[in-house]
Amino acid sequence: MATDRVPAGKRDCISLREKIAELQKDIHDGIDVVGKKMTLCQLYAKQNAQRPKVRKNTETGRKYLMDILKKDKLGVRSIDSIKPSDAKEWAIRMSENGYAYQTINNYKRSLKASFYIAIQDDCVRKNPFDFQLKAVLDDDTVPKTVLTEEQEEKLLAFAKADKTYSKNYDEILILLKTGLRISEFGGLTLPDLDFENRLVNIDHQLLRDTEIGYYIETPKTKSGERQVPMVEEAYQAFKRVLANRKNDKRVEIDGYSDFLFLNRKNYPKVVSDYNGMMKGLVKKYNKYNEDKLPHITPHSLRHTFCTNYANAGMNPKALQYIMGHANIAMTLNYYAHATFDSAMAEMKRLNKEKQQERLVA
């Protein structure tokens, strides 16, 4: 039973005996009684300090989260005082402030990792961010847009015929036929194209930050470095792009120059340029056509490319390589659910190939 309460009129708190019991339990469990009093902001900073050399966009993401924590009441709380209910209330506040479900989930994952460090350092016993976000918030993530074959044809036909967007036709076609990330596409330079072997060399990407401007980044993983084949349509589109290039002043970014796709200011195009272009193109198409196109982004074209080859039965490992996916699970998500008929057809195909190999041998 708690005794030794503070006098009436003073702020209620745990009794002296409870404090002593808590301290004795911490000492018995090896809890760092000083470390547990660091704030959530301090813990997150500690986690980041243990991995200082990160990509620029990761550094930017860290800064965003730290700014959020500094403005939120949870950021100044000592880590030993944060309960799962506090973490869930933080997630709800984030949603009320307009943050998307996936953004909140990414930030929650970072804070969960921070608390694992605190647990390893014996600062706390449990992880308050170890919960499923979907149990707290509705997942409002918009499903990935994948164009049907008919939608793909209509998009290309409209762009090709339109006075405003015909100049973007080859860019859209190349994105649909290579599956490149828009940062990889925007970073393409003349030396990246190998017309003799009909392939595109991917070993860097172009990004732009509001504070530091344009910069070149290497792929997140080694799997991002790859050679993407040029199918005939992509080959011809690249040829047209080069034929239509103007002798404009070439900018240099982190040692790279001769960028293929430039804006009006002769700077390489980035995701914001293509998002705006695609939004305007779809809006104009839908204005004059009853069969509306869905919301389309450059990433939608990459999803469409991957889905088309998955549905065509391409070997998952081959598709993983072309897409530059670090994990095969990412690629497998694009494959339709197997049925008995599709499984039987695949077994027959493999058995037929085996028999042919034996005949040749």
97 secondary structure, DSSP code: T
Decide if 29 is inside a domain.
yes
Same domain, 193 and 264: yes
What's the whole-number mean pLDDT along residues 81-101? 96
Q: State pLDDT tens for residues 44-63.
A: 999 999 999 888 888 989 99
Q: Please give the C-alpha separations between residue 74 and each of 12, 37, 239, 359, in angstroms, as whole numbers.
A: 21, 13, 56, 70
Q: Provide the 8-state DSSP code for 50.
A: T
pLDDT for 28? 57
Long-range contacts of 283-290 (CB under 8 A, 24+ apart): 284/158, 284/162, 284/164, 284/165, 285/154, 285/155, 285/158, 289/154, 289/158
Looking at the fold, whether 121 and 258 belong to one and the same domain comes out as no
Residue 354 falls inside a structural domain: no
Based on the domain organization, do 130 and 70 belong to the same domain?
yes
User: Who contacts 211 (Cβ-Cβ below 8 Å, separation ≥6)?
Assistant: 60
Instruction: Give the pLDDT of residue 16.
Output: 73
Do residues 296 and 153 share a domain? yes
Q: Is residue 12 part of a domain?
A: no
Q: Tell me the C-alpha distance between 23 and 242, whole Å.
A: 72
Mean pLDDT lowest among 23-37, 177-191, 280-294, 327-341: 23-37
292 with 151: CB under 8 angstroms? no
Per residue in 94-116, pLDDT (tens digit) is: 999 999 999 999 999 999 999 99
Cβ-in-10-Å burial (0-12, 13-18, 19+) of 270 comes to buried
The set of catalytic residues is 181, 220, 299, 302, 325, 335
Residue 78 and residue 55 share a domain: yes
Whether 88 maps to a domain, the answer reads yes
Shared domain for 127 and 179, answered yes or no, is no
Give the CATH number for residue 265: 1.10.443.10
Within-domain flag for 349: no
Nearest to 88 by CA among 106, 74, 102, 68: 74
| 294 contacts 151 by C-beta, under 8 angstroms | yes
- Over range 155-179, report the average pLDDT: 98
* Tokens (6 digits) for 74: 């949870």
User: Cα separation of 79 and 317, whole Å?
Assistant: 44
Number of structural domains (the chain) is 2
- CA of 233: how far to CAs of 163, 173, 187, 229, 238, in Å? 22, 8, 20, 11, 9
Q: How far is CA 139 from CA 65, 128, 321, in A?
A: 20, 20, 30
pLDDT tens column, 217-244: 998 889 999 999 999 999 999 999 999 9
Place of tokens 């702020």: 11
**Are the C-beta atoms of 159 and 168 separated by less than 8 Å?**
yes
Please give the single-letter amino acid code of residue 161.
A
Residue 265 predicted with pLDDT over 70: yes
What is the structure's pLDDT at 1?
A: 46
Q: Which domain, by its residues, includes 51? A: 20-135
Token look-up 């859209």 returns: 172
For residues 97 and 170, membership in a common domain is answered with no
SS3 content of the chain, % helix, strand, coil (to 5): 55, 10, 35
pLDDT score of 12: 52
Question: Taking 50 as the threshold, does the pLDDT of residue 22 lie above it?
Answer: yes
Dist CA 313 CA 328 (whole Å): 15
Rank 28-42, 142-156, 237-251 by mean pLDDT and report only the highest.
142-156
Q: Give the integer Cα–Cα distance in Å for 62 and 68.
A: 10
The pLDDT of residue 303 is above 60: yes
Residue 339 placed within a domain: no
Neighbours of 78 (CB within 10 A): 16
Asked if 121 and 159 sit in the same domain, the reply is: no
Residue type, 83: K
* Residue that is last in its domain, among 135, 166, 201: 135
